Amino acid sequence: MGMMTAEQNKYIISMSKDMIDALTAAGANITITMTAEELRAFAADIAHVTAERVASQTVDAIKDAMGDTMKYCTTEEAVSDFKIKLPTLKSWVAKKYITPLKKGGKNIFLREDLVRLTRKKIE
C-alpha cells in the first residue's frame, strides 16, 4: 500500500478508541503514516481529551465524597450570581486567585471561592 493522503490520515486519526480496539482485537495489522505535525496534533488531542476526562472524574469523586458541602457554578452563573464582570473573573483566574475545574469541557468554580473573593472586593 502506498502513502496515504492527508485526508486518509485525518480519518484514521479521528477514529474512535472503540474502533481502534475492535480492529486490534480482530488481529488487524495497521500501519499509519503521518507527518510530524499530524502526530503533534494527534498527541495534543489525546492529552486534551484525557485531561478533561480525569478532571471530570476528579470533580465527580470530590462531589461524591463531600456531598452537598461543595457547590460549584459555571462561568455564566459566577458572573450572574456574584454580580461580577467576565473580565474580573478572567483576571482572578489569570492571577491565580481562583482556579477553575473543568467539567464537560467548561470551567466550573467553587462558590465558596467566589464568596471569599467578592467579599474582599467589597471590603
- What is the model's pTM? 0.43
pLDDT band of residue 68 (cuts 50, 70, 90) is: low
Cβ within 8 Å of residue 14, ≥6 positions away: none
Residue 3 has pLDDT above 90, yes or no: no
Domains for the chain: give ranges and CATH numbers: 35-122 (1.10.1660)
Tell whether the model's pLDDT for residue 61 goes beyond 50. yes
Q: Is residue 39 over pLDDT 50?
A: yes
DSSP E strands: which ranges in the chain? 72-74, 101-103, 106-110
- What does the pLDDT look like over 74-107, one tens digit per residue? 899 999 989 999 999 999 999 999 999 988 888 9
